Structure 1
Amino acid sequence: MTEHTGGCRCGAVRFSASAEPTHVSYCHCADCRSATGAPVSAFVGFAADQVAIEGEALRSFDNGAVTRSFCGACGSPIAYADERIGGTLYFMLGAMDAPGTYKPTLHAYVREQLPYLHMPDGLPRHVGSSVSRSQET
């Protein structure tokens, strides 16, 4: 089994996952845009019990059911967890050491996609979430 690793820009936070990814996707929601500053985000999800995160600089911000983690030293976004999904931790694709290894398989929240952003990749497009949540908002 391959170990999947990554970290923040400055190296103060490192993480690894000892299981294969459960989910790789793009997200077009306004919340992800605000959290990352990017017009679209890409995530790779792993079973949370197979993930290890190290670094005293790790910080988090809770927004309802979603907790986003970031490096308190360099500000790099690291991951998010959604208590409505549970059991999965989603890392920013750009925080992975080998981001080219993880090819997104779908687009989520395309109803919020910016009108000038065109990604003609043929992947499935979900109007809302691509993952069932216990209390969808």
Structure 2
Amino acid sequence: MNAPTLHAGGCRCGAVRFEASAEPHHISYCHCGDCRKASGAPVSAFVGFKTGEVALDGKTLKSFENGPVARSFCGTCGSPIAYVDSRLPDDVYFMLGAFDQPAYFKPTHHAHVREQLPFVHMPDGLPRHLKGSVPRPDGTEE
């Protein structure tokens, strides 16, 4: 029997859909330049799950690789969907804004604040990491 869907989302045109059968293990803002380029926004927010807890479907799904990170998006409407990092093979991080109920997910910290744009002010009291907030197996926090 399949686990029940707790969270679902997808792209703007509906060609790509995803669902998760568990609660996320990671919810964060990211201020890195790569996320800015991928999203077009001054800051991004991600929701992380274990890969075995999610299903992703869409014939229009495309991806772009930059080093160990591959970012997926809809090839029809261009909506960013998720990213995976080859150094974290059991994790997938979905764009918070791609969820059907994005208000459910409240970020718990900020990553890459050394790259935060000077005009972005988010006085939320959350922990701030100069680099990444997810340690990689090699000990780095990229």
When residues 92 and 21 of structure 1 are mapped into structure 2, their CA distance, relative to the original with a 3 A threshold, is same
Structure 2 match to 1:19: 22
Asked if residue 95 in structure 1 is aligned to residue 98 in structure 2, the reply is yes
- Match 1:6 to one of 6, 9, 21: 9
Asked if residue 80 in structure 1 is aligned to residue 83 in structure 2, the reply is yes
Computed over aligned residues only, the root mean square deviation of the Cα atoms, in angstroms, reads 1.1
- Match 2:111 to one of 108, 113, 121: 108
Asked if residue 119 in structure 1 is aligned to residue 127 in structure 2, the reply is no
Q: 1:85, 1:131 within 8 Å by CA — same for their partners in 2?
A: no
CA distance, structure 1, for counterparts of residue 67 and residue 135 of structure 2: 17
Q: Which amino acid aligns with 2:102?
A: P
How big is the shift at 1:134?
Answer: 3.1
CA distance, structure 2, for counterparts of residue 37 and residue 2 of structure 1: 29
- Per mean C-alpha deviation after superposition, the further-off stretch among 1-10 and 68-77 is 1-10
Deviations 1:115-136 (A, max 9, x none): 1100000000000011101343
CA distance, structure 1, for counterparts of residue 89 and residue 116 of structure 2: 25
CA distance, structure 2, for counterparts of residue 20 and residue 88 of structure 1: 13
SS in 2 for 1:69: strand
How big is the shift at 1:2?
Answer: 5.5
Q: 2:5, 2:19 within 8 Å by CA — same for their partners in 1?
A: no
Gaps (5+ residues) in structure 2?
none
Q: 1:43, 1:90 within 8 Å by CA — same for their partners in 2?
A: yes
Relative to the length of structure 2, the TM-score reads 0.93
CA distance, structure 2, for counterparts of residue 109 and residue 49 of structure 1: 27
Relative to the length of structure 1, the TM-score reads 0.96
Q: Which amino acid aligns with 1:80?
A: Y
How big is the shift at 1:33?
Answer: 0.4
